[in-house]
Chains A and B, each alone.
Chain A
Amino acid sequence: MAVKKEKYPMPEQDPKKRIKNFDEVPYGYDEQTAIEEAKRCLQCKNKPCINGCPVEIDIPDFIKHIAEGDFDKAIDVLKSKTSLPAVCGRVCPYENQCEGECTLLKIGDPVGIGRLERFLADYERKKGVKIPKIAKSTGKKVAVVGAGPAGLTCAGDLAKMGHKVTIYEALHEPGGVLMYGIPEFRLPKEIVKAEVDYISKLGVDINYDVVVGKTISVDDLIKDVDAIFIGTGAGLPRWLRIPGENLDGVYSANEFLTRVNMMKAYLFPDYDTPVKIGKVVATFGAGNVAMDCARTALRLGAEKSYIIYRRSDKEMPARAEEIHHANEEGVIFKLLTNPTRFIGDDKGILKEVECIKMELGEPDDSGRRRPVPVKGSEFKIKIDTALVAIGQSPNPLIPQSVKDLKIGKWGNIETDEDGRTNIPYIFAGGDIATGAATVILAMGAGKKAARAIDEYLKLKK
């Protein structure tokens, strides 16, 4: 029987409707569709897809169980490697990872691995999550700093190995970027909470409102524990460094998204935190965060939402699905366009952005063709709000506060492949070590570090 060339589509909210609400966009597969999609998998002997997975999930194995209709077995396979499948099934850039390695790409669409992972996680959550076997207590204690994807993964894995783990989180909620960064319509917060709940059920304690480096120091922590994992993420927003960036109306993507997602400004005044965007919003950058900003702006009532990006569509770093959704929702892409200055009125309120047209020149260090300004092509766009989404640098609080910890040139914590720092009892992973990357890479780093910590604790005795 010939394999169907196209992925089974996932039903989605109509774009016209969904830009008026914050509900999740895709609905996910039903059982029958999941089975049909799973049957598309060729069950390759060499399993190329696993090479594309930062957390090493045995993808063909869980898909085989779905195809057989044995969802519980499929979940066991999935959960043996990832503690956050409902998250990964929604926000992983599959096209560059597992699905990018799929043999089916030679004849058509890859297997919808992400969609199947999401299906399983949602199926399990509805049914009630099973707590796996936890190894006998080792009597060793580990402190994890930051309850984002790296920290949660590391904590979950360590707990399963029998270590006592306590997470210290600076904010009032767990999840890190999953909570403050990624919007509700892409990753419902109830799902993040359920995944965190699972980590808690593994025996992990989470302390909120504790800023390690301020409320307690790493030196304080190590008095009570045997090892420390630092997963404090990429904090500091990067700026365009053009005139007018401090005008009223210019936000970092982080501030805008934190107000909306974590502080629920979209429910203002029922929630106290405000956000105001006016009628025309311009987002600078074209990564996932930029798409989140542009699409959130529409949902807050913006009449026009621009993505302004200095390179062309081929270089946009966002996931294909995010760009597709943004397009469907009416986000206007101004590509090969670079802002040169923000212009305000006499009260200092943002009114316009001046941009310059760009063209692509020779490849730069990143391998992408370098955008160069076209002389004399400046033009202005009237805007009410500017959202700067061009990336973040590692959060400096811990790197600054731990003496002798080796810091890289971008302010990141230097580690080896498994998250070991130059201080034997300190491990680190995720954006704090690599600079801003993806949720799944942070999870992969948390996983590797958990193994390295386990090894260290065994040797320590």
Chain B
Amino acid sequence: MMQDALKKIRGAHWLSSDAVIQQLWPDFFRLKGDRLVADDPALTVGFGQFEGQTCLVAGVNRGQTLTERQTYRGGAVAPTGYRKFSRGLKLAMKRHWPVITLINMPGADASLAAEKQGQSQAIAAAIQLMGQLTVPNIAVFLGEGESGGALALANSNRVFMYQHSLFSVASPEAMQAILKRPVGEVDQLLPITAQALQQQGLVDAVLPDTDANTMVAALKTQLQTALMQLADQTPLQLQQQRLTKFQQLQTLV
């Protein structure tokens, strides 16, 4: 069950963030570079119009061909990507644009280069900025999202997940290695699936996995509703709402 879901969302033909952007933001402009080191092709950051309103959109690229997968490191976002994202967030706040993130990634880049370029700091800064955002933000899980690398894109007012997507502290494989439990068991021990996280109150909508066109259409409807609901919120309300939302996961007694 779990393995089937993983195979599906990691497959070359799964709905990509690029495909979503092409359909929902056809007049999209891509930002390039973190203004410090380089541009990270694993994370698209840019802006375009949705229903007449400009949005800042960030989408992780896993890649479809082998060459793409190598270029994008399978969607492992680098510090340059998180810094480009933070740059976009500041622009969005200045221009009062809502922020939409499209997530399907194995976690942040765990390479020598990433460490040298300050991966931890880049992620911390992005998580903090997302929490303090004065404009609405909505996270959409197209597939999996794990570790702080995914949290940096997911610390949002609304979280939508496609039916087979996952949001977890670590990848099922990493959890298997650390906790010595079979991959297929992890989702029964901890809430990581869209359905389980909806029950916890974190996920606002579980979107059906069908064909690409239907999937994008369903997302479009959800985005319209959410953007309308969030439009009147003050910056303070938006910040507080994010806190309250993520506090729901706590199981403190």
Report if A and B associate in a common complex: no
Residues of A near any B CB (own CB < 8 A): none
Residues of B near any A CB (own CB < 8 A): none
